[in-house]
Amino acid sequence: MSDRWRTAVRLAGFGAAYFFAAGAFMSYWPVWLRHRGISDAEIGTLFMARQFVSVGATLAIGFLAHRVGNLRGMLLALGVAAVVMMGAYQLSYTFLALLLVGLIWGAVWSPTMALYDGVLVNEARARGLVYGKLRLWGSVAFILGTVLCGVAVQRFGPPSVLYVGLGGILLLAPFAFVLPTAESHPIGTKRHAPFSVFALFRSRPFLLFMVAAGFCQSSHAVLYSFGTLTWRGAGIDDVTISLLWGESVAVEILMMMASGWLVQRIGVTGMIGFGLACGLVRWTGLAFTTDLPALIFLQALHAGTFAACHLGAMAFIQRALPPTGVALGQSLYYALGTGATQAVIYQFAGLLYERFGQHAFLGMTAISAVGLVSILLLARTWKGEVLVHTASP
């Protein structure tokens, strides 16, 4: 096996471990929380609080990575911390205890994804690999985690959610240990940041990108918080629900496989715009139906609302930033573009769902519309150029 392909296997392995756990938690974490006596509004609060901590932690860790590199070491430490936090969740039974543990969890989980994507983007560019084809193995693992979690919940009950997720989390540190060193600074360059964060925030195209891609990803808040609960309330069994989640990621895999061709054909802004347009349809439909044939169609639109938008976002960061700025750009996107926005929307989603139930999805339709306006403006102002430049040596 060539060095190029060994690197690809190591990169895909870490992503598979992460997304196996994410598949269990994203689809069934609200069920686990409700089993511990947490109300719908409190679920929204827990998600919001965790997201707000994620914002600060992702920014801080991303800034540190931008300054000193050593992404592998950071991912290894975060993997060990994730195992510890699973034990803390197991011992938490009150809202206050779950809130405190969730705050720490937010400082561990989201920065891991931001740093890992930074490694993927840099390694794909350096070794001639296709980002989407590396990332799709995480999607495969997500399906496996989701389906296994659904089967486990139906057979053994909601407490099994934590144990299924732990299966992936236990593999994070070992896979982090064998990742490429992933230094964000080429050998022979100074270790300080080549440009400040303010250079990005003075860039109108970067801000439009943050709004468009961030709103597209944040529009999943009601689905992630209350999708499973809604479908359970409609009488759909847990195995079928897990298959609905798995289907959404299966079509995501198809999008990932065609990522290189699609980005070339419709462009970076076209990918994000397609995701937002799918959001208008998906969230409006989920607000009014729980019929299984309709849900199958609407879940297939995850290929747009998540995958197309994510691929477009990664392509934008890869093209609009120099290699030494990728870790910082990823962290800003995850922390502010997605994290801070989603934190507010999670709380909003909890309040909406408590009052309006399933119709809370209409709020996500409105968010997608705002994002669509932003991406149209970005398409008119950004033509593929690098937005910030490193200083000359």
In-domain check, residue 386? no
Cα separation, 114 vs 118, in Å, equals 6
* Structural domain count, the chain: 1
Is residue 361 helix, strand or coil? helix
- For residues 71 and 90, give the distance between their C-alpha atoms in angstroms, rounded to a whole number: 29
pLDDT in tens, 179-192: 776 444 444 444 44
- Whether 92 is covered by a domain: the verdict is yes
- The secondary element (H helix, E strand) that includes residue 325 is none
Whether this model's pTM surpasses 0.95: no
Q: How confident is the model at residue 387 (pLDDT cuts 50, 70, 90)?
A: confident
Neighbouring residues of 186: CB distance < 8 A, sequence distance ≥ 6:
323, 324
pLDDT of residue 292: 95
Per-residue model confidence (pLDDT) at position 238: 87
pLDDT for 68 equals: 66
- Cβ atoms of 18 and 145 within 8 Å: the answer is no
Flag whether pLDDT at 336 surpasses 60: yes
Is the residue at 272 inside a domain? yes
**Residue 309: which CATH number?**
1.20.1250.20
Q: For residue 258, with 0-12 CB atoms within 10 Å meaning exposed, 13-18 middle and 19 or more buried, which class applies?
A: middle
Asked if the model's pLDDT at residue 352 lies above 50, the reply is: yes
Domain-located, residue 123: yes
Tens of pLDDT, residues 3-56: 677 777 888 888 899 999 998 887 789 889 999 998 877 887 888 888 788 888
Residues 290-309: tens digit of each pLDDT? 999 999 999 999 999 999 99
Nearest-10 crossing angle of helices 309-320, 204-218: 160
Q: Which pair of structure tokens corresponds to residue 237?
A: 């069994």
C-alpha closest to that of 274 among 13, 339, 224, 282: 282
Considering the domain boundaries, does residue 286 fall inside one? yes
Q: Quick one: which of 122, 135, 309, 277 has its CA closest to 209?
A: 309
Tell whether 216 is covered by a domain: yes
- 84: which 2 tokens? 């510890």
